[in-house]
Amino acid sequence: MTTEQETTQSLNQKKRAFYEERSLFLGRICVKMGLTPNVITVFSLLVSLMSGIFFWKAEMLLGVAFMLLTSFTDMLDGSTARAGNMGTLFGGMFDHVADRYGEFFILAGIALSGSVHAGWALAALFGMLIASYTRAAAESIGKMENCAVGIMGRLEKFIVIMVGASLESFYPTQRWLELALILVALTSLITAAQRLLYARKILGNRS
C-alpha cells in the first residue's frame, strides 16, 4: 500500500470514528422511542424511493431534500444499532443491500428526468455499485478487516450529486447535475481500482 493510500485509510478511519461518536446520542433517542435499526433501514429505503420519484418529476430541490433525509436515516440505523447493542450480521447485510437499492432509486429517477444524458446517470450508478462491490468482495471473500480506501466515499458522492442537483434547479442550462454525475462516475471507478490494488497488496497470493 502506498503512503497516499495509508494516509487516505487513516483519514477515513478517523472520520468514521468521529462520525460514530457524534451520532451516538441520536441512536440513544431512537432506542428510547422503541425504534430498531431494521425499521429505520426500511424507512431510509422508502425515503430514497421518494427522492427518486421527485428527481423523475424534475423536482430537483425536493429530490435533494429527500436525498439528504436518506443520508441522515442511513446514519441513524447504524447509530441506533450501536447505542442499543442491536447490531446483527443480518442487519449489516440488510443495510448494505438497502443502500444499493437506494442508490438505484435516486440515480434511476435522475436518468428518467430528462435533465441529464441517461448514460451519465447509468455510469454513476455503475461506478457506485462496483466501488461498493469491490469493498464487499475484499472483506467477504478476502476476509479483510476493512477495505474502505479510496478518494471518495458514498456520503461524499451523495453530496456531489446534491450540490449538482441544487445548482441545476437554479441554472438548468449549465448542466451542473450532469457534471456532478460525471465526477461521481470517475471517482467511483478510481475508488474501485484503489480498493483492488489495496486488496492485492494485503492479500498477495494468499489462497
Mean pLDDT in residue range 11-20:
59
- Domain assignment present for residue 61? The answer is yes
Where would I find the H helices in 84-153?
A: 89-112, 118-140
- Domains held by the chain: number: 1
Q: Per the domain annotation, does 106 fall within a domain?
A: yes
Q: Is 173 inside a domain boundary? A: yes
Q: Which domain holds residue 149?
A: 3-200
Residue 149 within a domain:
yes
pLDDT for position 18: 58
Q: Residues 148-207: pLDDT tens digits? A: 899 999 999 999 999 999 999 999 889 999 999 999 999 999 999 999 999 999 998 887
The enclosing domain of 159 has a CATH number of 1.20.120.1760
Residue at 205 is within a domain: no
Shortest CA distance to 196 belongs to which of 142, 156, 122?
Answer: 142
Q: What is the mean pLDDT of residues 56-71?
A: 97
CB 75 within 8 A of CB 29: no
28 in a structural domain: yes
Question: Quick one: cell of 77?
Answer: 440505523
Q: Is residue 206 part of a domain?
A: no
Is residue 122 over pLDDT 60? yes
Look at residues 32, 188, 170 and name the one whose alpha carbon lies nearest to residue 24. Answer: 32
135 or 22, which is more confident: 135
**pLDDT the model gives residue 1:** 47
C-beta of residue 92 within 8 angstroms of C-beta of residue 36 = no
